[in-house]
Chain A
Amino acid sequence: MTPALGKDLLGLAPLSAEQLRLILDTAEPFKEVSERQIKKVPTLRGMTVVNLFFEASTRTRISFEFAEKRLSADTVNVAASGSSVSKGETLVDTARNLEAMRIDMVVIRHPSSGAAKFLAERIESHVINAGDGMHEHPTQGLLDLLTLRDKLGDLAGKRICLVGDVLHSRVARSNIAGLRTLGAEVAVCGPRSLLPHGVEELGVTVFDRIEAAIEWADALNVLRLQLERMTAGYIPSLREYNRVFGVTSARLARAPRDVLILHPGPMNRGVEIDSDVADGPHSVILHQVTNGVAVRMAVLYLLAGARLAAGAESRT
């Protein structure tokens, strides 16, 4: 059996439409596992997964941990603070030491772009990128795709706009790659100071005004505006950001159709998104979180499946 995804999941950019659909289709039955009273299947029994988080994370780390536990894997969480990393150990030494304990998978969150790939090239275990710097956050991209597909059906020709700080956003890069591969039309909207130079070359339309983006879109994926962007001089103030780019119910009321609202979290209510939008009828933000567990179960299963199959082959 050829591994469906290869050894690792580092990003959505390298994946084909078939591979993306396989993950989303695999996630469907896993949704149901989390709805059971006993939320556990034995699929990954005996496998060891290390969640290696070099950056603060609540949602993603817990989501991965639930996914692993519901598949019966043994999990260990390592955070940068309170580990040997804070004593100056390099990433490659951390990884080699973990591997020397015979693990099967590493889920890594790291502030440097390329860190997951760096790790994947140096250890034999499967590596799942849980966010590397400003590069990719593939499982977030997948849960966004799954949520959009749940609500909009086939994504071919659907119009999705990413709103806000695309420059620093790994969520945006994974969304752009995944959505385009599945045939959606993708746009970005935000202050030009928070869009990457050369963003058009990623194959997206650029809207300078949020009003135009709302008029165009079937769905908005509203990115988190980090407070440090103001102190670093990218925007004048959060107040002005809300006034110019905030997704508000007044703006959405003028849309020619219902616009689906996604947000990767954590939200800054009253900055990039108003509370009545976040809590409103077209918000699918909590649906995204639910889908996150299913999508991560699917990824763990597909990567482990390759390993289980390889093990079976080597025994015959």
Chain B
Amino acid sequence: MSVRPVLLQGGRLLDPSTRRDEIGDLLVIDGRIAAVGGRLDAPDGTEVLDCRGQVVAPGLVDVHVHLREPGREDVETIATGAAAAAAGGFTSICAMPNTIPPTDTQSAVGFVIEKGRQAGFARVFPYGAISVGQNGEQLAQMGEMVAAGAVAFSDDGKPVPNSHLMRTALEYARTFDVVIAEHCEDMALGHGSMNEGRMSAKLGLKGIPSEAEEIDVIRCILLARRTGGKLHLCHMSTKGSVDLIRWAKDQGIAVTAEVCSHHISLTEDAVDGYNTNAKMNPPLRTAADVEALQRGVADGTIDVLATDHAPHHYDEKEREFADAPNGIVGLETALGVNITYLVRPGIISLATLIDRMSCAPARIFKLPGGTLVAGGVADITVFDPDASWVVDPARFKSKGRNTPYGGHTLTGRNTATVVDGRVVFRHP
């Protein structure tokens, strides 16, 4: 069954990958961008979206989400997660493998891909686990998983503590030219529930020092230097990590890094009052860390903005702080948070935002999209960069309601999402 052509009319076509920034039309036919720029005529039966006042950009790509299926379908499914992604402007998401059981075989990879295809919202790309069962001991069958559609490997949720295994993974992955993504944490230092510092001293909570992350950052950077493997550092949270990554890039080491929307917008102060919706790992840090991360996004030390979308059942967050699980949802707030905290204050331009949320992640993970070129796949996000809105978690497509932004006013909101030439989301 063929899909109606779509004409995105009169928007600001903004694509850093081709340095395009102009008012014009974009025509989509049969899942491809048929033409881009200028005034375009559409064939009969075309669905026309009035994009005046909106930005028309390559579809957003989130390389760090947790979809909880299989195992915790009560918390999120691949379908609800992909729907939340589409609502938030994401056309592709990469699902971390820490499900129950973990995605550590070709059949598990195939399950995620098939569920994603059935859902029909954002494209869903699975990560495979680095180690069998994510137990940090034996390398999982990467080759088979790549053949089945895995786009990268990670034991996210926890680090790969064994340096020999991390080294081997970086070496072995070179055959398939895929990234190894590390959740950076020295577990011996990491047994805490928030940033270690003034606020943890006040609240009497066990802290996680910055060094828990930074020690693993430099360990992996040095192993990437030794092996020539492609290293991707997940959810960076400290100034020290930014400094280490800047040094590594100066040395020519193949490292990329991501930061999450919450780490560039909130500090440990959000935890005050034992707010479990401000609990995640790595934890919210200090204002100095936030500023360094923002600067890192601006100067390219940080390549990618991600969400670490981590839905939890409200009962699990509704409890004593130390016992509540880590993580917050982010797919439906990330664009607004990033515009509010990075673009509006003038730290980065809209073009840089689109690079960090679309072009760069698509390039690093070799995913479709990330560009608006004639003949390319039609994965497109349309958003209003000036729309002001109040976050109402009850309206999320995600099953997760665990967000620290509930009731916050954000600027910038997705209005339409096109995946493979189909309009999968329109803001009502």
**Interface, chain A (partner B; CB < 8 A):** 13, 90-92, 110, 112-115, 117-118, 132-136, 170, 173, 196-199, 201-202
Given A113-B205, A113-B274, decide whether A196 and B200 contact each other with a Cβ distance below 8 A: yes
Given A197-B197, A202-B202, decide whether A90 and B315 contact each other with a Cβ distance below 8 A: yes
Interchain residue pairs with CB less than 8 A apart (14): A112-B320, A112-B321, A114-B273, A114-B322, A117-B274, A118-B320, A133-B205, A134-B204, A134-B205, A170-B204, A197-B201, A198-B198, A198-B200, A202-B201
Specify the chain A residue showing the minimal Cβ separation from B320: A112
Given A112-B323, A114-B274, A118-B274, decide whether A136 and B201 contact each other with a Cβ distance below 8 A: no
Interfacial chain B residues near A196, Cβ < 8 Å: 200-201, 207
Interfacial chain A residues near B299, Cβ < 8 Å: none
Contact of B204 among A90, A113, A197, A201 (CB under 8 A): A113
Interfacial chain B residues near A112, Cβ < 8 Å: 320-323
Interfacial chain B residues near A117, Cβ < 8 Å: 273-274
User: Does the CB pair B319–A113 fall under 8 Å?
Assistant: no
User: Closest Cβ of chain B: how far from A180's Cβ, in Å?
Assistant: 13
Given A113-B204, A197-B209, decide whether A118 and B319 contact each other with a Cβ distance below 8 A: yes
Given contacts A90-B318, A92-B319, A118-B319, 4 further A-B contacts (CB under 8 A): A113-B274, A197-B200, A197-B201, A198-B197
Determine the distance from Cα of A92 to Cα of B202 in the docked complex, in whole angstroms. Answer: 24
User: Does the CB pair B205–A199 fall under 8 Å?
Assistant: no
Specify the chain B residue showing the minimal Cβ separation from A177: B202
**1/0 contact string of B291-331 vs chain A (CB within 8 Å):** 00000000000000000000000010011111100000000
Determine the distance from Cα of A196 to Cα of B202 in the docked complex, in whole angstroms. Answer: 9
User: Closest Cβ of chain B: how far from A227's Cβ, in Å?
Assistant: 19
Interfacial chain A residues near B319, Cβ < 8 Å: 90-92, 118
Interfacial chain B residues near A198, Cβ < 8 Å: 196-198, 200-201
Interfacial chain B residues near A134, Cβ < 8 Å: 204-206
Specify the chain B residue showing the minimal Cβ separation from A172: B204
B203 beta carbon closer than 8 Å to chain A = yes
A-side binding surface: helix, strand, loop or mixed?
Answer: mixed
User: Closest Cβ of chain A: how far from B198's Cβ, in Å?
Assistant: 5
Determine the distance from Cα of A71 to Cα of B315 in the docked complex, in whole angstroms. Answer: 38
User: Does the CB pair A113–B321 fall under 8 Å?
Assistant: yes
Contact of A115 among B196, B198, B202, B320 (CB under 8 A): B320
User: Closest Cβ of chain B: how far from A237's Cβ, in Å?
Assistant: 21
Interfacial chain A residues near B274, Cβ < 8 Å: 113-114, 117-118
Contact of B320 among A13, A110, A201 (CB under 8 A): A110
Q: Which of B202, B209, B315, B321 has the most CB of A within 10 A?
A: B202
User: Does the CB pair B318–A136 fall under 8 Å?
Assistant: no
Specify the chain B residue showing the minimal Cβ separation from A133: B204
Interfacial chain B residues near A136, Cβ < 8 Å: 204
Determine the distance from Cα of A201 to Cα of B196 in the docked complex, in whole angstroms. Answer: 13
**1/0 contact string of B164-201 vs chain A (CB within 8 Å):** 00000000000000000000000000000000111011
User: Does the CB pair A201–B201 fall under 8 Å?
Assistant: yes
User: Does the CB pair B203–A135 fall under 8 Å?
Assistant: yes
User: Does the CB pair A13–B202 fall under 8 Å?
Assistant: yes
User: Does the CB pair B203–A114 fall under 8 Å?
Assistant: yes
User: Closest Cβ of chain A: how far from B326's Cβ, in Å?
Assistant: 16
Determine the distance from Cα of A198 to Cα of B197 in the docked complex, in whole angstroms. Answer: 5
User: Closest Cβ of chain B: how far from A13's Cβ, in Å?
Assistant: 7
**1/0 contact string of B253-273 vs chain A (CB within 8 Å):** 000000000000000000001
Interfacial chain A residues near B318, Cβ < 8 Å: 90, 92
Interfacial chain A residues near B200, Cβ < 8 Å: 196-198
Q: Which of A92, A118, A173 has the most CB of B within 10 A?
A: A118
Interfacial chain A residues near B209, Cβ < 8 Å: 197
Determine the distance from Cα of A230 to Cα of B63 in the docked complex, in whole angstroms. Answer: 43
Determine the distance from Cα of A132 to Cα of B274 in the docked complex, in whole angstroms. Answer: 12
Specify the chain B residue showing the minimal Cβ separation from A137: B204
Q: Which of A90, A92, A113, A132 has the most CB of B within 10 A?
A: A113
CB within 8 Å of A: which of B12-46? none
Interfacial chain A residues near B203, Cβ < 8 Å: 113-114, 135
The 10 closest A-B pairs by CB, nearest first: A114-B274, A135-B204, A112-B320, A134-B204, A196-B201, A113-B204, A201-B198, A198-B201, A198-B198, A114-B321
Determine the distance from Cα of A191 to Cα of B196 in the docked complex, in whole angstroms. Answer: 18
Contact of B201 among A110, A115, A132, A199 (CB under 8 A): A199
CB within 8 Å of A: which of B320-377? 320-323
Determine the distance from Cα of A137 to Cα of B202 in the docked complex, in whole angstroms. Answer: 13
User: Closest Cβ of chain B: how far from A212's Cβ, in Å?
Assistant: 22
Specify the chain B residue showing the minimal Cβ separation from A169: B204
Determine the distance from Cα of A199 to Cα of B196 in the docked complex, in whole angstroms. Answer: 11
Specify the chain A residue showing the minimal Cβ separation from B193: A113
User: Closest Cβ of chain B: how far from A309's Cβ, in Å?
Assistant: 27
Q: Which of B202, B204, B207, B323 has the most CB of A within 10 A?
A: B204
User: Closest Cβ of chain A: how far from B301's Cβ, in Å?
Assistant: 26
Interfacial chain A residues near B322, Cβ < 8 Å: 112-114, 133
Specify the chain B residue showing the minimal Cβ separation from A173: B204
User: Closest Cβ of chain A: how far from B120's Cβ, in Å?
Assistant: 38
User: Closest Cβ of chain A: how far from B269's Cβ, in Å?
Assistant: 13
Specify the chain B residue showing the minimal Cβ separation from A115: B320
Determine the distance from Cα of A51 to Cα of B203 in the docked complex, in whole angstroms. Answer: 23
Determine the distance from Cα of A92 to Cα of B316 in the docked complex, in whole angstroms. Answer: 11
Interfacial chain B residues near A113, Cβ < 8 Å: 203-205, 274, 321-322
Interfacial chain B residues near A110, Cβ < 8 Å: 320
